[in-house]
């Protein structure tokens, strides 16, 4: 029995080694032509900046350029659909986000792709924390005080976002559910208009990006209470997370990561992942992205896949609870 058990283990180990060698052989002469990274939003945002940092890294280490192509529209669905239908040959990738893979598939009747089946994860690149901020006129200094105030004024406090179904809107809906408070959502067409009414006191609360919120907090025109991610923000390290401040387990999955069409060769995935991981360890890039409110982090493709799945499932529940219907 011991001999048979040893032989079985040796056979499995041999198969694993042969698989790894095959992957390395497949990836040895890859890439041999230019690579495209498709960005689902317009130039200038953190997603675009992250894609360009990755493209620069690939261009530096391989003899062929990597180009960034912006394809905005339909909350990122256009770009995601394009990449889902692209050849799985290792030359077309998507700079995916929580919007394209966690929220959008639940908010569109026909997104044109399956968020879980039509892509293979390459690497997580960054988390983008949002901030729970209030108008200074509210008599609260922390999340627990804000929850108590909201519970005493059901349906009276308004929270702004950059639009229905956005990450910022759903951050508020998740907060409402977990804190058991009745906040009224006021959607705007963009973050600029939402901030104007918040600063003037027309609305009292917002969930917004770190880099958008910080200037107003520094001027004393807003009061920041906490961030929405599970870890604190480098840009605002003094702020607790909502999870540690009052609502254990609260997390708004707002990530940026690189994905490829399903069936992209495993050897290519491993090779690409290694370069993204090296980029994330570059201190200069880390500081640059932190200034934009993004926290760089990478790991294995498998770990990224679990993050994508967890976010997809949790946002499905939030969207259903909020009563949002696919359009």
Cβ within 8 Å of residue 284, ≥6 positions away: none
The residue-averaged pLDDT of 63-83 equals 95
CA dist., res. 118 & res. 86, Å (int): 10
Q: Which residue has the higher pLDDT, 213 or 12?
A: 213
Cβ within 8 Å of residue 299, ≥6 positions away: 123, 124, 277
Confidence check: pLDDT of 7 > 50: no
Predicted local confidence at residue 27, as pLDDT: 65
The residue-averaged pLDDT of 80-101 equals 97
Cα 275 versus chain centre, distance: 19
pLDDT tens digits, 24-38:
555 678 999 999 999
Q: Where are the beta strands (DSSP E) in the chain?
A: 35-39, 66-70, 92-97, 119-127, 130-134, 158-161, 184-187, 205-209, 223-227, 255-261, 295-296
The residue-averaged pLDDT of 109-127 equals 96
What angle do the packed helices 46-61 and 283-291 form, to 10 degrees?
160
Confidence check: pLDDT of 116 > 90: yes
Could you tell me the domains of the chain?
Answer: 36-127+254-322 (3.40.190.150), 130-245 (3.40.190.10)
CA dist., res. 159 & res. 172, Å (int): 8
Confidence check: pLDDT of 206 > 90: yes
Cβ–Cβ < 8 Å for 191, 209: yes
CA dist., res. 9 & res. 13, Å (int): 6
Predicted local confidence at residue 26, as pLDDT: 52
Cα 85 versus chain centre, distance: 22
Query: Does residue 206 have a cis bond before it (omega within 30 degrees)?
Result: no
Predicted local confidence at residue 78, as pLDDT: 95
Comparing 51-60, 78-87, 290-299, the range with the smallest average pLDDT is: 290-299
Predicted local confidence at residue 12, as pLDDT: 46
């Amino acid at each position: 029995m011991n001999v048979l058990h040893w032989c079985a283990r040796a056979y499995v180990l041999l198969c694993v080694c042969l698989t790894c060698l095959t992957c390395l052989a497949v990836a040895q002469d890859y890439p041999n032509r230019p690579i495209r990274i498709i960005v689902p939003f317009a130039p200038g945002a953190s997603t675009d900046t992250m894609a360009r940092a990755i493209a620069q890294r690939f261009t530096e280490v391989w003899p062929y350029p990597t180009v960034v192509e912006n394809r905005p529209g339909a909350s990122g669905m256009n770009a995601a659909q394009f990449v889902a239908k692209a050849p799985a040959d290792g030359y077309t990738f998507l700079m995916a986000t929580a919007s394209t893979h966690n929220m959008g598939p639940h908010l569109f009747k026909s997104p044109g792709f399956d968020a879980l089946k039509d892509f293979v994860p390459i690497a997580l690149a960054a988390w983008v924390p949002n901030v729970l901020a209030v108008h200074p006129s509210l008599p609260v200094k922390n999340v627990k005080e804000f929850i108590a105030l909201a519970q005493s004024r059901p349906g009276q406090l308004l929270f702004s976002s950059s639009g229905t179904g956005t990450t910022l809107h759903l951050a508020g809906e998740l907060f409402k559910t977990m804190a058991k408070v009745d906040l009224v959502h006021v959607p705007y067409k963009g973050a600029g208009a939402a901030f104007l009414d918040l600063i003037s006191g027309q609305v009292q609360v917002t969930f917004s990006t770190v880099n958008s919120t910080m200037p107003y907090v520094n001027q004393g025109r807003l009061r920041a209470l906490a961030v929405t991610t599970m870890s604190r923000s480098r840009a605002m390290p003094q702020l607790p997370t909502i999870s540690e401040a009052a609502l254990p387990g609260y997390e708004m999955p707002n990530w940026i990561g690189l994905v490829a069409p399903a069936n992209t060769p495993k050897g290519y995935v491993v090779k690409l992942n290694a370069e993204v991981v090296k980029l994330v360890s570059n201190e200069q890039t880390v500081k640059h992205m932190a200034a934009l409110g993004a926290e760089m982090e990478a790991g294995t493709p498998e770990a990224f896949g679990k993050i994508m799945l967890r976010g997809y499932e949790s946002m499905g529940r939030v969207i259903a609870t909020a009563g949002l219907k696919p359009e």
